[in-house]
Each structure stands twice: as structure tokens, then as C-alpha cells.
Chain A
Amino acid sequence: MGRIVLDKVTKRFGDVEVIPPLDLTIEDGEFTVFVGPSGCGKSTLLRLVAGLEDVTGGQIQIDGSDVSSMPPAKRGLAMVFQSYALYPHMSVRKNIAFPLKMAGMKSAEIKRRVDNAASVLNLTDYLDRRPGQLSGGQRQRVAIGRAIVREPAAFLFDEPLSNLDAALRVGMRLEISELHERLKSTMIYVTHDQVEAMTMADKIVVLQAGVIEQVGSPLELYRTPRNTFVAGFIGSPKMNLIEGAAAASYQAHTIGIRPEHFDVSAEGGKWSGTVNVSEHLGSDTFLHVQGTGLADSITVRADGEVAFRHGDTIHLTPREEHIHRFDAKGLRVE
């Protein structure tokens, strides 16, 4: 069980209000991702849930009971840190066993659980090594192993993949998703990488300056961003945000068109411009188009086989049903 409720939670450091009153409910078994640019308060929020920081006001409930003033050890949560935070002086076995030892478990039971976790995480051959002798991916697994042996009410992940190289990151992303499928426990995952958020989350919480901009499933955020911030943050490459006359013709202050929602043509279309850079990725081609009079540069995602080059004239036609409209405050207009 692990239903986590934040009720008007606030946090200030001295005079600085990092998190203004915030409400959020995380259902049992949900994989929730906190995403936002660095300094948006997502890690602070996670640390508040963990109990590593005190809330200044409001309440945090886990499964209905108020834990706001409980020390981290008593909240029944497990955390995986960005730096893994393994104990360098202990073997892998002792690292994984540490929370169980702290809980006063019998050594036979500890051994059973550690062996079990190690075989799940492919760590059996490394149990007697020190963290210093492991690769980044293996360390990450040890950190996860240390978290799962406790069978916690919820898992907290603080940017766990940011220290891994790109290839490993994709692999670990899958492993964590599989882990969630298997354990079905609540997980809160903090990242600044919207790709991780989109691929892993059941529910994404987009934060900016300590304020929740939008909460929803990945597709909801993609399809109906509530404001220009979420629109620009979710999706890659970024949504084109266009102001001025073109927007006014749609009765909006700003319109947003995702790169993948343009039809391109060499002959004719709604808008025209010049290709500045074209990036061929094989499956797709990203075209950076200038001189459209819409914005400095418009990013277009086209088919992998298109043959536009630097300096070519290109015509763009937006798919009307995918145009997002925003008012002067940046809020979505339906």
C-alpha cells in the first residue's frame, strides 16, 4: 500500500518560498514523475515526501496517516539517489542488507531477501565486491536492490539515471519500468528529462518555480497542455510557439504547433520559408526553417526521406486539428 497525499504543503528556506501551498494525490501503485527545469522544486518536493526536509506548512499523508513530522526512517519509504549513495566501505551484500539490519531482521531472513534481490537484479556474481569496483549501471542496480529489499510503501527516485551514459540510460529506464510492472508499488520519480517522464510515467506532474503547472497522463499532457510552459516542455523537439498575426487569425494570442504536425511541400502551402539546417536522423528529418515571418525559426519534423537542403524554399501547412491556442496569459483556449 502506498497512497500519498500532499495537503497544502509549503516549504520555505529562510525568506525564500520554494514551494507555495501545493496539493497533490498519488494513488497506490501509481508511477508518478515530477518533471521540470532545474531549480523548479521537484527534488525539494521529493525530499519533503522522504522526510529529509521538514514541511513548513501543510500535511503529508501516507495511507491516511499524517507523517509530516515523522523522521525518514519511520515513513517506510525507500529512495534511490542521483549519486546512488552506496556505502563505499561495505560490500554489495552489506549495502543491500543494511536497511534490513537496521530493521533488526534475523540474519537468515536477510540473506534470503538479499539473495533474492540480487538474482532479480543480476547482481549475484558481485555480492562480495565493493561499490568502487562496479560500473555505473551495476551501482544503480545495487541502489535499487537496497530499496526493494525493504518492501517499502513507496519508492522515491531522485534523477537516478542522470549519471549514466545514453545507452545505459535507455536500458535502466526499461528495467525500472519492468520493476514497477512487477512490484506494482507506488513510485515517485524526479527528472528534468521529459523523455523519461513520457516513457515511464502513469502520471506526470509538471513543476515550475514550486508550482504545479499540470498533472496528467503523458498523452493528456501531449495532447492538451494547459499552458505554454507545459506545451514547450513536453514533447521533443519542442512545440513551435507562434505569436502575432498568424496567431490572431486563429483568435489566439499564441498558437502552438508541434514539429510533427506540419505538412511540407516544395510547391505550395500556407506558409513558406527557407531551410536553414536539416538534420537527417534516418527515420525522421528535422528541418529548421527561417524567414516564415512566424518566429525566428520553425522546427519541422518530416519524413526521413525528404530531400530539403540548406537554402531550399519550403512550404508549410499546419494540421488544423492539432493547433493549440493560448490566450495572453499563456493559458489554453479551447
Chain B
Amino acid sequence: MARAVSNRRRLINTLLAWSIGLLIFFPILWTVLTSFKPEGQAIADPPMFLFFDWTLENYFVVQERSNYMRYLMNSIIISGGSTLLGILIAVPAAWSMAFVPSKRTKDILMWMLSTKMLPAVGVLYPIYLLFIQLGLLDSRLGLVIVIMLINLPIIIWMLYTYFKEIPTAILEAARMDGASLRSEILYVLTPMAIPGIASTILLNIILAWNEAFWTLNLTAAKAGPLTAFIASYSSPEGLFFAKLSAASTMAIAPILILGWFSQKQLVRGLTFGAVK
């Protein structure tokens, strides 16, 4: 859409959009800035924006006091593990529905979607009880499974919409060329679907990373990921803004960067293809 627009109008648009953009982004920026302040300056009145005594001290304190690395590892294992497991289960299922559709395919897809809508709190106790029975409470394995299950419908849906875009004829060509089902998926479908699979993985890592119901309710000190780590700052002692900021920055930085890469796919993934 290359419309002729006067530079004046473009300038107004730019100024307006940038100010609103910065306003929306400000809490994140403020958090990052505060993380580099000494605690005293973090609460100074009037607030100090750039000209404070920059320090990395908060990051060291946070790591020492709460063993940030362990929570980080838990976050990585839980979001990575659940996404990987989900992909392994979802690729064959999405293949089936995209390339061998039957009359029930649509119903199955819709049903899978409906499981995503089950309010977590409605099944909190049963899951809690099952976790105790199975010894999964406060374990990474348990969370990997639960997070995988809550995101599985999204993974299947996203892969399904990507697979649908691959022409059936190419897979049939592979079949005619003597490829077994395994080779067909391995050598033809997967390489062609790499971009789609990659963005599915990305979005699901983000969703898993930020999941804050099951991670808060099913973990304690051992398997808690970063969501739980941050929640432990909700009842702090003394001055702590800078430390909270350092902890927060460390918790959101990796995923913010991943998120910026996956903007486009986000829409498809979160609307189940209803908006393209």
C-alpha cells in the first residue's frame, strides 16, 4: 500500500505513534533502568531517569539470595521440554488431519480447541490430587506434562494451518517416488514446514515460559520456574525495587527477544487461524 502522503502527515503519525509506543513500553524500560540503580536511588523523589550511579550489584544480589540460575534452568527445561514433547505428538496428528482429512477431522479439531477452553481452576483439585498420588508435585516432569497438555491444542492447530498450505500433490509425488510414510514426513514434509514448525515452537516456548497458574500452584522450591521466582517477591522486606527490577529483567529478557521474532505467527497461533 504505497499511498502518497505528505511528509507533514507522516511526521505527525510518526510522533504520535512513537509517543504512544514509548508510553506502552515505558514500564518495561523503567524496570530495566531501575535494575541498574542502587536501592536508594530507585525510590528517589523526584525519580532519576538516566543520571544515577549505574551498578550491576542488584543482579549479583538476586542471584546469591534466590539462586536465580535454578529457577532459570527450571523455566528452560519446562518450556523447552513441554514444547518439544508437544511437537513430537502434534506433528503426526497435524499431518493426519491436514493430508488425510475425513468427515470427522473438523470435529476433532474443534474438540481439541475446546479442551483449551476448560478453565484451569475448574480442574485444579483433581490435578493437584493426581500429582500427589503420582509423586509429581513440585517436579519438572509433572509441569512439562501439564504445560504440554494445555498447549497441545495450540500446537496442533498451528501446525495444521501450516501443513494445509503445503500442496498435497508434493506429498503424493513423494509417494509415487517410492517414499515410505516415514521418509515422506522426514524428507519432504518436515523440511518444507520448517518455517511453520519453527514459529510454532517459538510461540509455545513463550506461552509456556509465561504460564502462571499451574506453575504457581503445582511447584514449590524445587521445580519452580521464573514465574514462581518472581511471585516470591510479592511480600518483600525493606527496600527492594532495584532487586525486583533486576529479577524481573532477567525473567523477561530472553522471552521478549524471542517474542519480537515471532510477532507475525502470534496472530495465527492465538486466534486459531480465525484472523490471518
Complex-state Cα separation, A99 to B184, whole angstroms: 11
Q: Which bracket fits the contact residues of A?
A: 20 to 34
Q: Decide: B176 and A89 in contact? CB cutoff 8 A.
A: no
Task: Report A-chain residues with C-beta under 8 Å of the C-beta of B169.
Answer: 81-83, 85
Q: Is the CB of A52 within 8 A of B177?
A: no
CB contacts (< 8 Å) of B188 on chain A: these are 87
Residues of B within 8 A of A52 (CB): 172, 175-176
Give per-residue flags for A153-169: 1 if the beta carbon is below 8 A from chain B beta carbons, else 0.
00010000000000000
- Which of A69-77, A271-279, A309-317, A320-328 is the interface stretch? A69-77
Q: How far does the alpha carbon of A50 sit from the alpha carbon of B174 in the complex, in Å?
A: 12
- How many residue pairs link A and B with beta carbons under 8 A? The number is 63
Q: Is B178's CB under 8 angstroms from A73's CB?
A: yes
Find chain B residues with CB under 8 A from A85 CB: 167, 169-170, 172-173
- In the assembled complex, the CB of B85 is this many whole angstroms from the nearest CB of chain A, namely 26
> What residues of B have a CB within 8 angstroms of the CB of A150 in the complex?
177-178
Report the minimum CB–CB distance from A288 to chain B (whole Å).
Answer: 40
**A71 near B175 (CB under 8 angstroms)?**
yes
Contact partner of A88 among B177, B178, B192, CB < 8 A?
Answer: B192
> With an 8 A cutoff between CB atoms, is B180 at the interface?
yes
| Residues of B contacting A71 in the complex (Cβ-Cβ under 8 angstroms) | 175
| Of B175, B191, B192, the contact of A72 (CB 8 Å cutoff) | B175
Is the C-beta of B217 less than 8 angstroms from some C-beta in chain A? no
Q: Mask for B152-191, Cβ within 8 A of A = 1, else 0?
A: 0000000000000001011011111111100100011001
A22 to B180, CA, bound (A): 30
Q: How far is the CB of B193 from chain A (nearest CB, A)?
A: 10
Chain A contacts to B: CB under 8 angstroms: 50-52, 71-74, 77-79, 81-83, 85-89, 98-99, 102-103, 146, 150, 156
> Can you give 13 A-B contacts (C-beta < 8 A)?
A72-B172, A72-B175, A73-B176, A73-B178, A78-B176, A79-B172, A79-B173, A79-B176, A81-B169, A82-B169, A99-B176, A146-B173, A150-B178
With A50-B172, A89-B192, A150-B178 already in contact, 14 other A-B pairs whose C-beta atoms are closer than 8 Å? A52-B175, A72-B172, A73-B175, A73-B179, A74-B178, A81-B173, A82-B169, A86-B170, A87-B174, A88-B192, A89-B191, A99-B176, A102-B180, A103-B178
